[in-house]
Amino acid sequence: MTEIVALAPRLARRVAAARRAVVLTGAGVSEESGLGTFRGPGGLWEEFRPEELATPEAFARRPRRVRDWYAARHRTMAAAAPNAAHRALARWPALFPSFLLVTQNIDQLHQRAGSPEVVELHGTLMAARCGSCGARRPMAELILAGGTIEDERPPRCSCGGLWRPDVVWFGEELPGEAIDRAQRAAASCDLFVSAGTSATVFPAAGLIALARQAGAVIIEVNPEATAFSDLADLRLPGAAGTHLPALTAAIEACRSPG
């Protein structure tokens, strides 16, 4: 059965009048594409220890192990297909004069679904980056250039630096330009949607508070309640692949002429 989201009259009027919208997505948006989340039951960090695989120190100690783990994740992500949530959000740029899609995901499924511009707060596993000079190349090329199983060190850049996944590891700061852009947009938006995220990782989770301070309509799409659920004008408890298409249809209806 197709999900229907009904916006209360006052909320519908505010959404209809909104000119600047921001959507923040987390791992829950890609879960229905077969990609695991990180926290909660069945999350990646239940099975793996992040300090052994997702820190600069882990990479310095055992670069081959870290690279191989990310190579396996890359294969899974590359084989995944965008789901209904990704496809719904690809329609949002046509709905608002100003729209920014901000994601904590590293799979680039938003781009593959047709979203023209995405701010990636945690980087992307679809690319590799030299840890010394900052040069970038497709992650698939790095995996193919991985050498034999006996090689402990990953391939090196022409500058001599080690290639690594272009993702943000624990203990590293988010890309300054990305978080600055996201914070500016959240602080001036009329509508803010948080989808598929537990809202526990800062500074990304702080975007919700910035939007509330700006007087924006806050909508949360997530199976479980979060620390920010009480701030939401509308909470849709369930899967992003179900609720985001329905929410998109409701917004299109209230913003259509006549």
Instruction: Assess contact for 205 and 196: CB atoms under 8 A.
Output: no
Amino acid (1-letter code) at residue 160: G
Catalytic residue among 74, 110, 122, 243: 122
Pairing of strands 123-130, 163-167: antiparallel
Beta bridge partners of 137: 128
CA atoms within 13 A on the CB side of 90: 16
Instruction: Assess contact for 162 and 154: CB atoms under 8 A.
Output: yes
Instruction: Assess contact for 195 and 23: CB atoms under 8 A.
Output: yes
- Per the annotation, the verdict on 122 as an active-site residue is yes
Q: Single out the residue of 121, 133, 137 nearest to residue 173, CA to CA.
A: 121
Cis peptide leading into 203, omega within 30 of 0? yes
Give the burial class of 18: count Cβ atoms within 10 A of its Cβ; 0-12 exposed, 13-18 middle, 19 or more buried: buried
Instruction: Assess contact for 22 and 206: CB atoms under 8 A.
Output: no
Q: How far apart are CA 42 and CA 29, in angstroms?
A: 16
By annotation, the residues acting in catalysis are 122
